Structure 1
Amino acid sequence: MTLLKTAVDTSSPDYQGNRDAMLAKLDELSDEHAKALAGGGEKYVDRHHARGKLLARERIELLLDPDTAFLELSPLAAWGSDFAVGASIITGIGVVEGVECLIVANDPTVKGGSSNPWTMRKGARANDIARQNRLPVISLVESGGADLPTQKEIFIPGGRAFRDLTQLSADGIPTIAIVFGNSTAGGAYIPGMSDHVVMIKEQSKVFLAGPPLVKMATGEDADDESLGGAEMHSRTSGLADYFAADEHDALRIGRRIVARLNWRKEGPAPSAEVTAPAYDDDDLLGVVPGDLKVPFDPREVIARVVDGSDFDEFKALYGSSLVTGWAQVHGYPVGILANARGVLFSEEAQKATQFIQLANRSSTPLLFLHNTTGYMVGAEYEQAGIIKHGAMMINAVSNSKVPHISVLMGASYGAGHYGMCGRAFDPRFLFAWPSAKSAVMGGAQLAGVLSIVARASAAAKGNPYDEEGDAAIRKIVEDQIEAESLPAVLSGRLYDDGIIDPRDTRTVLGLCLSAIASGPVEGADGFGVFRM
């Protein structure tokens, strides 16, 4: 066993300072997560309960197998926007009758579960995860349809939800809809396009147009039940496949549907024996410095995440700013690429390219641990070929076919974000620590570049340069970039799948790798042209 050693001194002032800074960030994020958990607030939660209905999260809990985890996705969606944190929908991966499923639940306490632009984006991301990882989809439906004041942002892209359901079905991925209340207008197509549909007596309402709109359009007088009640759809239209007595019965039926799917994983099974890391995951709170300009050794993270802290490092003496090697997480094999000192040089890019090729040859999933300021700049490095070597690494990441998982621990700037498989490169999952920041470059660097350009422009025109104004502008720009780089901002825009407590990293990775194994894991047969 190649056991990683640790140099973390949990009693040192630096460690304690780092830990305090991380805990403060976690406290701030806890307040934001609480907003998503609160739904529409106490008033609407109480009103929902008074109607004898379960909350969306209560429905999920009853649907899942007892004492199993629920990996919630994009919980801070819409953060910083005019809409409720969470985007009036809950998405995540959970185990139902032993089968990992992608679960989507409308939150009817938030504007009746109506869909806003962020709801569309969050739902689309969930469907991507289901398709990429071959996960059955269970929709817990109760929605008033589109948030009409924002229809111009919803109507056109909203059709993707229908396309996704039909394509999932065509790909052999089961889709199940359990209707708990309204599913009207465009929302009526959610059950209409699902493989299996459960409706609840005197509670489910599925119609293209409710009584008022029917009256306006046709002059016909009709009630909810005759238009779209559960009994009508069970006896007359045939839209409902199962008629449930109440919500608990509907969830029971939903579980039985999954049990009868005869679903089997197509990916590799984990090792029978799994050894916990040799070091305490609590140590991860103090590993990342509060100042991201200060480097840290990612091996300290790897040692607290991988099985038995056992890591076979690849090219340990070459390209030392990037750590690469092989390990297992919860019994699943992984290849790891982790930034060590921020900057990526030509050696690191070439090392990463070879390593990614080897991972594809052995069909081994890749884990990218980000803390990079990007590829090195300067005349010496340009002449040495940093562009073509960086492009080589990005080519390898782009055309790699094995599943990728990315975790942003610290900085993730510039093209380094791309080379380390950022969001645009479709990792199966991407999570961030509260310490993470991501942007074109750091705030001070970006403000400095703008200052240099402005100074040169003034000199070219023969004008005096306003030093005081320059300092003020630099401060404004730096503050703006720092604010826009924070993980809550990026998570709110769905640029990650959630911000996680560093101590939960191993658990989250294990859940992701298990979900990935629902589908086949295969490497690429070939890559694009590598410029040598």
Structure 2
Amino acid sequence: MFSIDMLYKSLLALCHIRRISSANIEHFRKRIGAHLDVTGGERYKKLDKLLPRERIQMLVDPGSAFLELSFLAGDGLYGKDLIRSGGLITGVGVVSNKLCMIMCNEFTVKGGSIYPIGLKKYLRAQEIAHECKLISIHLTESGGAALPYQADLFVEGGRNFYNIAKMSAEGLPQVTIVFGSCTAGAAYVPAMCEENIMVDRKGYVFLGGPPLVQAATGEIVSAEELGGARVHCIQSGVSDHFALNDQNAIDIARNIIMNSNYEPSDSWAEKFTAPSFEWNGDLLEKLSDGRSTLSAHELIKNLADKNSFSEFKKFYGVDLVSGFCHLAGINCGVVANNGMLSEKGALKATSFIRICSQRKIPIVFIQNYTANKNKVTLEQEDQRGKAIVRLMSVLACSEVPKVTLIIGKSSGIENYAFCGRSFSPNFLFTWPAAQFCSHDGDSSVDMENMEEQQDAVYSSARLWDDGVIEPKDTKRVLALSLSCALNKPIPDSKFPVIRM
């Protein structure tokens, strides 16, 4: 499931979608390869340690899916230091037939130290776990905060401890496996969780390690004596389960989840698989140019299960396509750009979202903004603005699960109106051709810098999305995301006062 070769080839397919130079393709390949390359992996093997992705692979149920989030987090943010995946691997998987959010320290990067982007990724994973009512499993091995960045970590650094306590209070189980040394702030994660497992002679929990103890008190003490599994299982009581090795720890964790007696009323764990699918050949050709207009109808019909798409208001507000369909067997609504959003398109979307909210049907939003080359009057623009305000008001207060996919340009007010990041979709993914910008048209101001900042990799590195995905995996990722979001009952929606 986590074959490096398969993942490498899969991610390289992203280059197929965009018309970019061979130099850019080579650069993209290097970024992918760099994030997958575990330097010194053999050294850890000799220490009988599982690598981070191997830990996840052994934890999840055989044959089940794993929805990894924000693979490119941190890319290019720390100069020459490559903090692979932001120093933390996060994603949703099935453990003992229960949906779980898995957070695994990438200990091969700076000893698993937490960088600002890693903290942001951690908090995003916890946000998803809370919203989707998922069990949280922390696979820990970390030296705590990366001290050169402590000014960017301290204030929000305790938020993950707060989240652990709050989710536990809401009945969402919190479980930790201590695979290695957990020092300073990282020591609080196993202490805060409901149950934790420590691996003998590998897992350690202490606020300050032996060198710090010696420097402060002059006492010479081993890591095992200071905070090993035997100390915390027998004397301090910080740990609840003693594991002989990594595999034993994973087996104990799976048993804990199995016996947790946690079962959401609408559990989708058994449905957490979704087929990939083959693109229509003609459509794939159109996708080769990131700036070309893509027909929303073609895209939806390729994503929807066969003959399941039923369009809503087909002849009204044709710059927007909306309708109901089944996606890998999941009933959902779809709202997609088919041009620049007009007044009629906004009114149509508002009506459709209210229907989905009434029926408690999740919605998939597809963004691909194209500017309107036709002139519009001030009155038309005024009416359009008012309609978009109504749309955003309804969107913000709709309680149905929402998943957003950005396949092309996403700019200005349309990013918000089609459930961009600021409108809190349960998940948001992008294609490699996606472009983020705050303005609606091209600008000659600092174009080189703006071009870089619009890039999908640039935005994903900063967690403006939950990951860049290749088009052929779109149906699978959307289906898995909807399964997560539907893991809890959908509450009634209450809409605000709308002035205009």
Q: Same fold (TM over 0.5)?
A: yes
Query: In 2, Cα distance between the equivalents of 1:236 and 1:33?
Result: 45
The letter of the residue matching 1:258 is I
Give, in angstroms, the shift of residue 483 of structure 1: 1.4
Is contact 2:274–2:480 with CA below 8 Å preserved after alignment? Answer: no
Aligned to 1:528: 496
Aligned to 2:4: none
Q: What secondary structure is seen at the aligned counterpart in 1 of 2:467?
A: coil
Is contact 1:326–1:333 with CA below 8 Å preserved after alignment? Answer: yes
Query: In 1, Cα distance between the equivalents of 2:225 and 2:274?
Result: 59
Q: What secondary structure is seen at the aligned counterpart in 2 of 1:197?
A: strand
The letter of the residue matching 1:147 is A
Alpha-carbon spacing, 1:192–1:210, altered in 2? closer, same or farther (3 Å)? same
**Aligned counterpart for 2:353 among listed residues 348, 352, 356:** 356
Matched, 1:35 2:34: yes
Is contact 1:23–1:285 with CA below 8 Å preserved after alignment? Answer: no
Query: In 2, Cα distance between the equivalents of 1:33 and 1:513?
Result: 27
Q: What secondary structure is seen at the aligned counterpart in 2 of 1:179?
A: strand
The letter of the residue matching 1:67 is G
Alpha-carbon spacing, 1:22–1:334, altered in 2? closer, same or farther (3 Å)? farther
Aligned to 1:11: none
Percent identity (aligned): 36
Give, in angstroms, the shift of residue 22 of structure 1: 8.4
Query: In 2, Cα distance between the equivalents of 1:440 and 1:497?
Result: 19
Matched, 1:233 2:217: no
Alpha-carbon spacing, 1:222–1:424, altered in 2? closer, same or farther (3 Å)? same
Aligned to 1:9: none
Alpha-carbon spacing, 1:283–1:60, altered in 2? closer, same or farther (3 Å)? farther
Aligned to 2:331: 333
Q: What secondary structure is seen at the aligned counterpart in 2 of 1:119?
A: helix
Alpha-carbon spacing, 1:277–1:222, altered in 2? closer, same or farther (3 Å)? closer
Aligned to 1:371: 368
Alpha-carbon spacing, 1:227–1:283, altered in 2? closer, same or farther (3 Å)? farther
The letter of the residue matching 2:208 is A
Alpha-carbon spacing, 1:68–1:277, altered in 2? closer, same or farther (3 Å)? closer
Aligned to 1:426: 424
Query: In 1, Cα distance between the equivalents of 2:417 and 2:235?
Result: 56
Alpha-carbon spacing, 1:374–1:104, altered in 2? closer, same or farther (3 Å)? farther
More moved, 215-224 vs 498-507: 215-224
Is contact 1:133–1:518 with CA below 8 Å preserved after alignment? Answer: yes
Give, in angstroms, the shift of residue 387 of structure 1: 1.8
Aligned to 1:344: 341
Query: In 2, Cα distance between the equivalents of 1:270 and 1:206?
Result: 33
Give, in angstroms, the shift of residue 281 of structure 1: 5.9
Is contact 2:332–2:361 with CA below 8 Å preserved after alignment? Answer: yes
Is contact 1:287–1:301 with CA below 8 Å preserved after alignment? Answer: no
Is contact 2:98–2:269 with CA below 8 Å preserved after alignment? Answer: no
Query: In 2, Cα distance between the equivalents of 1:175 and 1:48?
Result: 27
Q: What secondary structure is seen at the aligned counterpart in 2 of 1:344?
A: coil
Query: In 1, Cα distance between the equivalents of 2:140 and 2:159?
Result: 17
Q: What secondary structure is seen at the aligned counterpart in 2 of 1:191?
A: helix
Q: What secondary structure is seen at the aligned counterpart in 1 of 2:477?
A: helix
Alpha-carbon spacing, 1:134–1:284, altered in 2? closer, same or farther (3 Å)? farther
Query: In 2, Cα distance between the equivalents of 1:431 and 1:223?
Result: 46
Matched, 1:53 2:44: no
RMSD: 2.6
Aligned to 2:434: 436
Aligned to 1:80: 76
Matched, 1:65 2:61: yes
Give, in angstroms, the shift of residue 269 of structure 1: 6.3
Query: In 1, Cα distance between the equivalents of 2:269 and 2:122?
Result: 30
Alpha-carbon spacing, 1:19–1:48, altered in 2? closer, same or farther (3 Å)? closer
Query: In 1, Cα distance between the equivalents of 2:379 and 2:411?
Result: 18
Is contact 1:277–1:307 with CA below 8 Å preserved after alignment? Answer: no
Alpha-carbon spacing, 1:374–1:216, altered in 2? closer, same or farther (3 Å)? farther
Query: 1:374-409 CA distances to partner (integer Å, 9 max, x unpaired)?
Result: 799843445651221111111111111111100001
Query: In 2, Cα distance between the equivalents of 1:279 and 1:86?
Result: 29
What is the total number of aligned residue pairs between the two structures? 480
Is contact 2:60–2:95 with CA below 8 Å preserved after alignment? Answer: yes
Give, in angstroms, the shift of residue 34 of structure 1: 2.6
Query: In 2, Cα distance between the equivalents of 1:522 and 1:323?
Result: 26
Query: In 2, Cα distance between the equivalents of 1:157 and 1:510?
Result: 32
Is contact 2:268–2:487 with CA below 8 Å preserved after alignment? Answer: no
Aligned to 2:451: 482
Alpha-carbon spacing, 1:309–1:494, altered in 2? closer, same or farther (3 Å)? farther
Query: 1:124-172 CA distances to partner (integer Å, 9 max, x unpaired)?
Result: 1111111110111111111111111111111221111111111111121
Alpha-carbon spacing, 1:19–1:209, altered in 2? closer, same or farther (3 Å)? closer
Alpha-carbon spacing, 1:426–1:265, altered in 2? closer, same or farther (3 Å)? same
**Aligned counterpart for 1:515 among listed residues 474, 484, 493:** 484
Query: In 2, Cα distance between the equivalents of 1:112 and 1:174?
Result: 27
Q: What secondary structure is seen at the aligned counterpart in 2 of 1:290?
A: coil
Matched, 1:497 2:445: no
Q: Which has the larger radius of gyration?
A: 1
Aligned to 1:153: 152
Query: 1:321-352 CA distances to partner (integer Å, 9 max, x unpaired)?
Result: 000000111221111000012x1111111111
Give, in angstroms, the shift of residue 279 of structure 1: 6.8
Aligned to 1:140: 139
Query: In 2, Cα distance between the equivalents of 1:268 and 1:248?
Result: 27
Q: What secondary structure is seen at the aligned counterpart in 1 of 2:19?
A: helix
Q: Structure 1 unaligned runs (5+)?
A: 1-16, 448-473
1:65-144 aligned within 5 A: 65-82=61-78, 83-144=82-143
Query: In 1, Cα distance between the equivalents of 2:329 and 2:270?
Result: 4
Aligned to 1:299: 297
Is contact 2:18–2:287 with CA below 8 Å preserved after alignment? Answer: no
Query: In 2, Cα distance between the equivalents of 1:291 and 1:242?
Result: 52
Query: In 2, Cα distance between the equivalents of 1:18 and 1:89?
Result: 28
Alpha-carbon spacing, 1:349–1:27, altered in 2? closer, same or farther (3 Å)? farther
Query: In 2, Cα distance between the equivalents of 1:130 and 1:97?
Result: 17
